[in-house]
Chains A and B, each alone.
Chain A
Amino acid sequence: MQTTFLFTILFYVLSAGGYISYLIVQRKQLHRMASYILLIGFLMHCAWLTLAYSAAGHMPVGNLSETLSFCAWAVAAVFLIFQYKYNIKILGAYAAPMLALLMLAAFILPPKTVADPKLLQKLWLSIHITTIFLGDAAMALACGAGILYLVQERAIKSKKPGYFFKRLPSLELLDNGGYACIVTGFTLLTIGLITGLISAKLYWGRFWSWDVKEVWSALAWIFYAVLLHERLTVGWRGRRSALMAIIGFGVLIFTFLGVNLLLKGHHSQFTL
């Protein structure tokens, strides 16, 4: 099991190297290689999750190490689908290093189980966790597309094309790609929040307890809801949409880690 984990890390790191070299030297073969390596890494990761699940009898998200690993798995899954669908090749130079770092962090952190294993066996909670993480992953990619959008926009507006102009795709593609990520992410987050409410009712006895975690999650959800609403009604796109995607992801990260580590909400046991 440990070997599978190590191999997953190795493949993610190699893939990150491949994507970054692709950014620098722009060879198609490098991109193809990097995506295949990433795919192998992802399959390894799936294998590890299955092994960990059967060993513990519940989803392996009982501590910070496992949570980060699960997070990486979600990002890899969403990225692979997204790459297949939108073909923004350069986004790999953002996603793959992120995966590699998440996994390395997961590897370094101590693997002690803190969360109540009984709780983790519950079905509603499993759905809640999976959808929330996949949603977060989609938003992470939206943030990446937003960053690339701002870089490319700056290159075009400043009238000095430079290094990134040639290497980054068109603004339209980045904007559409980011939007698709946000729509996907928002859908998943919504499902995640609803199942979260249901779980809270089932296992803790009430839907809503004004916990900091809940409040921040709701804030993040509203933030994205506003973003989508504005895009659909008045056509908020481009720069503004990209900035919102980046800020939104910042709120999500804070909800995920900041709240648990700094404010000690009722989810803290998952990230200790």
Chain B
Amino acid sequence: MSEIILLGLNHTTAPVELRECLAFTTDDTERAVVQLADNPAVEEVVLFSTCNRIEVLLVAKDPGKAVELSKSFLSEFKQVPVNDFNIATYVHCGDEAVGHVFRVAASLDSMMLGEPQILGQIKEAYRTASEKRTSGVILNRLMHRAFFTAKRIRNETGIGDNAVSISYAAVQLGRKIFGTLENKAVLLLGAGEMAELAVEHLVRHHVGRVFVANRTFERGVTLAAKYKGQAIRFEEVKEHLSQVDIIISSTGATDFVIRRDDIKAVRRRRRNRSLFFIDIAVPRDIDPDINRLENAYVYDIDDLQGVIDENIEDRQREAVKAQRIVDEAVIRFRRWHDSLDVVPTIVALRDKVSGIAAVEVDKRIKSMDHLSAADHDAIRNMVNAMVNKILHDPTQFLKKGSCQGDKSIPLDITRKLFKLDP
């Protein structure tokens, strides 16, 4: 019977230099799956390649041979000697391989636990394989179960909840303060990659006006244009404090840029509306004492990191629940996979047909009192003979197999046709 095999390497086993050398583009993947599937030792194949992993998922009769073959294929295709990646490569067979695919699709094996992109990447890889017809009955089922399981995990556990990056954390906090970020005015003080990322993120959540204040006004004008905002001079910042709701600060100043008294002074004019500071600068720009004022919230970079760490811990806790769902899915998949074996299918088929015959015969015989016991036996024998004759050809067909020796297709069809899986 065919085995499911997975071999590959990921961010925990291989350094980025190696992963780069082995990474497949979409075009590469298309060619690679076709070439691998052309080999008679390989029945089905799907190939995933993301920046954190390269994995080959195979169905083959002889796992050992298929693994060797895939390794030498990778080596040839990517012009990397097998020895360079052999140690970093893991191989899983059967349930382990199935479980691994489920874990990957559900983002339990990702560098950032629960990140959502991986499922899309796996779907893309599967689409390539199915377009090139390199995936068959087993991998089709496996991939669909993987998508289903991943979706279930996302719905039933908190694996994807809560922000795990600075800009997401800022948005999450903002929403807990303001409810919605729509039409909230943002002020960006200074510039810097992280601060700009946070502003972009806020803009995507439909914040209102964006003000940009920079020590060099030109720079501020350029940045403001990027967010369709308005550049203001650094000296004007204090006047604008009464108009804005979210302040992201990332200047190179050595002392506080905004102090507690500045905020106290505008509180009345702001009518005590909430004010949220995200201080990404080191040394800090925003006086931490402002956090003690009513309706003002100050988060510096360490605070945000603290929030993120806590969220990551939450995700790890949720991952335990997710693993349970994966284990369950693996068992179900194995049941289905085992059923693709010839003998259980034939037995199930016979049980089903002779069961129906027996029930119907018994029903009729009960109402036929005029017949003797011998007559009853004769009727039973006749029905049994009919069942045997009807099932003879299908049984032979299943035993011999067809479709280039891949028995899983007729077996799968038989099981569906006769509804052998409840």
Question: Which residues in A have some Cβ–Cβ distance to B below 8 Å?
Answer: 152, 156-157, 159-162, 165-166, 169-173, 234-240
Nearest-Cβ distance from residue B207 to partner chain A, whole angstroms: 14
The answer for the CA separation of A236 and B294 in the assembled complex, in Å, is 10
Contact of B307 with A239 in the complex, beta carbons under 8 Å = no
Contact of A159 with B295 in the complex, beta carbons under 8 Å = no
Contact of B176 with A156 in the complex, beta carbons under 8 Å = yes
Contact of A172 with B177 in the complex, beta carbons under 8 Å = yes
B405 within 8 Å of A by Cβ? no
The answer for the CA separation of A169 and B303 in the assembled complex, in Å, is 21
Nearest-Cβ distance from residue B27 to partner chain A, whole angstroms: 43
Given contacts A237-B272, A238-B274, contact A170 B179 (CB under 8 A): yes
The answer for the CA separation of A160 and B302 in the assembled complex, in Å, is 12
Question: Which residues in B have some Cβ–Cβ distance to A below 8 Å?
Answer: 161-162, 173, 175-180, 268, 270-274, 291, 294-295, 297, 299, 303, 306-307, 310-311
The answer for the CA separation of A48 and B272 in the assembled complex, in Å, is 46
Nearest-Cβ distance from residue A17 to partner chain B, whole angstroms: 21
Which chain B residue lies CB-closest to A156?
B297
Which chain A residue lies CB-closest to B162?
A166
Nearest-Cβ distance from residue A260 to partner chain B, whole angstroms: 36
The answer for the CA separation of A165 and B310 in the assembled complex, in Å, is 12
Contact of A235 with B310 in the complex, beta carbons under 8 Å = no
Contact of B310 with A238 in the complex, beta carbons under 8 Å = no
Which chain B residue lies CB-closest to A238?
B295
Instruction: Choose among A152, A165, A166, A237 the residue that contacts B295 (Cβ–Cβ < 8 A).
Output: A237
Contact of B161 with A173 in the complex, beta carbons under 8 Å = no
Contact of A170 with B310 in the complex, beta carbons under 8 Å = no
Contacts of A236 in B (CB 8 A): 272
Contacts of A160 in B (CB 8 A): 306, 310
Could you list 4 further interchain pairs (A-B, Cβ under 8 angstroms) beyond the known A159-B303, A239-B295? A157-B297, A159-B307, A172-B179, A240-B294
Interface pairs (10), CB distance under 8 Å = A156-B176, A160-B306, A166-B162, A169-B179, A171-B177, A171-B178, A171-B274, A172-B177, A235-B272, A238-B294
Which chain A residue lies CB-closest to B307?
A161
The answer for the CA separation of A263 and B83 in the assembled complex, in Å, is 91
The answer for the CA separation of A66 and B173 in the assembled complex, in Å, is 45
Which chain B residue lies CB-closest to A26?
B158
Given contacts A157-B291, A157-B297, A237-B272, contact A165 B176 (CB under 8 A): yes
Contact of B273 with A235 in the complex, beta carbons under 8 Å = yes
Instruction: Choose among A162, A170, A237, A240 the residue that contacts B177 (Cβ–Cβ < 8 A).
Output: A170
Contact of B310 with A171 in the complex, beta carbons under 8 Å = no
Instruction: Choose among B176, B299, B310 the residue that contacts A152 (Cβ–Cβ < 8 A).
Output: B176
The answer for the CA separation of A152 and B178 in the assembled complex, in Å, is 12
Contacts of B177 in A (CB 8 A): 156, 170-172
Contact of A161 with B175 in the complex, beta carbons under 8 Å = no
Contacts of B294 in A (CB 8 A): 238-240
The answer for the CA separation of A235 and B270 in the assembled complex, in Å, is 8
State the 6 A-B residue pairs at the shortest beta-carbon distance, nearest first.
Answer: A235-B271, A172-B179, A170-B179, A235-B272, A159-B303, A238-B295
Nearest-Cβ distance from residue A147 to partner chain B, whole angstroms: 17
Contact of B274 with A159 in the complex, beta carbons under 8 Å = no
Which chain B residue lies CB-closest to A240?
B294
Contact of B310 with A162 in the complex, beta carbons under 8 Å = yes
Nearest-Cβ distance from residue B331 to partner chain A, whole angstroms: 25
Contacts of B179 in A (CB 8 A): 169-173
Contacts of B310 in A (CB 8 A): 160-162
The answer for the CA separation of A239 and B294 in the assembled complex, in Å, is 7
Contact of B161 with A166 in the complex, beta carbons under 8 Å = yes
The answer for the CA separation of A238 and B303 in the assembled complex, in Å, is 22
Nearest-Cβ distance from residue B33 to partner chain A, whole angstroms: 41
Contacts of A159 in B (CB 8 A): 299, 303, 306-307
Which chain B residue lies CB-closest to A159?
B303
Nearest-Cβ distance from residue B166 to partner chain A, whole angstroms: 14
Nearest-Cβ distance from residue A178 to partner chain B, whole angstroms: 13
Nearest-Cβ distance from residue A213 to partner chain B, whole angstroms: 35
Contact of B176 with A170 in the complex, beta carbons under 8 Å = yes
Given contacts A159-B299, A238-B272, contact A172 B307 (CB under 8 A): no
Which chain A residue lies CB-closest to B267?
A235
Given contacts A156-B173, A162-B310, A166-B161, contact A234 B268 (CB under 8 A): yes
Which chain B residue lies CB-closest to A27?
B156
Nearest-Cβ distance from residue A149 to partner chain B, whole angstroms: 11
Contacts of B178 in A (CB 8 A): 170-172
Contacts of A238 in B (CB 8 A): 272, 274, 294-295
The answer for the CA separation of A226 and B295 in the assembled complex, in Å, is 20
Contacts of B175 in A (CB 8 A): 170
Contacts of A170 in B (CB 8 A): 175-180
Q: Which residue, of B162, B294, B307, has the highest number of chain A Cβ atoms within 10 A?
A: B294
The answer for the CA separation of A237 and B273 in the assembled complex, in Å, is 8
Instruction: Choose among B272, B291, B303 the residue that contacts A234 (Cβ–Cβ < 8 A).
Output: B272
